Amino acid sequence: MTGDLLAGRAAIVTGAAQGIGLAIARLLHEHGAGVALLDLDQERAAEAAAGLDGESKVLALGCDVTDENSVAQAVERTVEEFGGLDIHVNNAGITRDASLGKMSVDDFDAVVNVHLRGTWLGVRAASAIMRKAGRGSIVNISSLSGKSGNPGQTNYSAAKAGIVGLTKASAKELAHKGVRVNAVQPGLIRTAMTQAMPPEVFAEREAAIPMRRAGEPAEVAGAVLFLASDLSSYMTGAVLEVGGGRLM
């Protein structure tokens, strides 16, 4: 799918070297946006950026989303390259699954820092640019784990639930400045992370989905494109579930 929904706009996608982040970056680029692909691994981000076809610019940047200066520098560099920032997608994430009795404090902190602190830093840095311009769309990637909770994911579920609260609070703060903040909650999506699950666990979760299949990264990207574009111009603080009907 190609088009010009985002022609002339500039976007940042974090965690964009693979999986859902790369699918989002690709679709935004296909619709005319200049896209900065941010990832902790700059080399992989560069490889991903090289694979994007289109006339709009692409930029690959190394970024630690838990580090305030790293995030600020990435946003600054994007604005320098593209002349502004219209779309910011906070997608970067990790997992460190374990039961409560076995999860270390370090693993709890690592997941919460990447997902929740990282999203907060992204919202703060992007909105500082967008407030001055009087427009912009920020899309935060939560998860259905943040709605229902998953055993073995007290860290991940807590962080993803926190992203929903962060989305709604920041949407209320920024609406009068023309900046929209929305969230997407993917369900079971075919990525390297989910395909590393034990096959029997994956099959059990897939069978519980009303549509009887896992989703594809491109299907999450479609929801992000909608929220990033003017098609959703009167939406802010919304949470879109992309889960095949799971937990509805």
pLDDT confidence of residue 55: 83
* Structural domain includes residue 109: yes
Taking only the tens place, the pLDDT of each residue in 53-73 is 888 999 999 999 999 999 999
Over the stretch 121-180, which tens digit does the pLDDT of each residue have? Answer: 999 999 999 999 999 999 999 999 999 999 999 999 999 999 999 999 999 999 999 999
Q: Under a CB-based contact definition with an 8 Å cutoff, are residues 175 and 129 in contact?
A: no
pTM of the model: 0.97
Q: What is the mean pLDDT of the chain?
A: 96
pLDDT value, residue 2? 67
> Which stretches within 101-229 are classed as H helix?
105-112, 118-133, 145-148, 154-174, 192-195, 199-207, 217-228
> Has residue 203 been placed in a domain?
no
> By residue range, what is the domain housing residue 174?
10-189+218-235
pLDDT digits (tens, 9 = 90+) for 15-63: 999 999 999 999 999 999 999 999 999 999 999 999 998 889 999 999 9
Residue 5 lies inside a defined structural domain of this protein: no
Write down the residue that tokens 């909770």 correspond to.
Answer: 149
**Active-site residue, 156 included:** yes
Q: Which of 82, 108, 120, 156 is catalytic?
A: 156
Backbone torsion region of residue 174, taken as left when φ is above 0, otherwise alpha when ψ lies between -120 and 50, otherwise beta: alpha
CATH code, domain carrying 148:
3.40.50.720
Tell me: the pLDDT tens digits for 171-210? 999 999 999 999 999 999 999 888 888 899 899 999 999 9
145 domain residue, yes or no: yes
State the total domains in the chain. 1
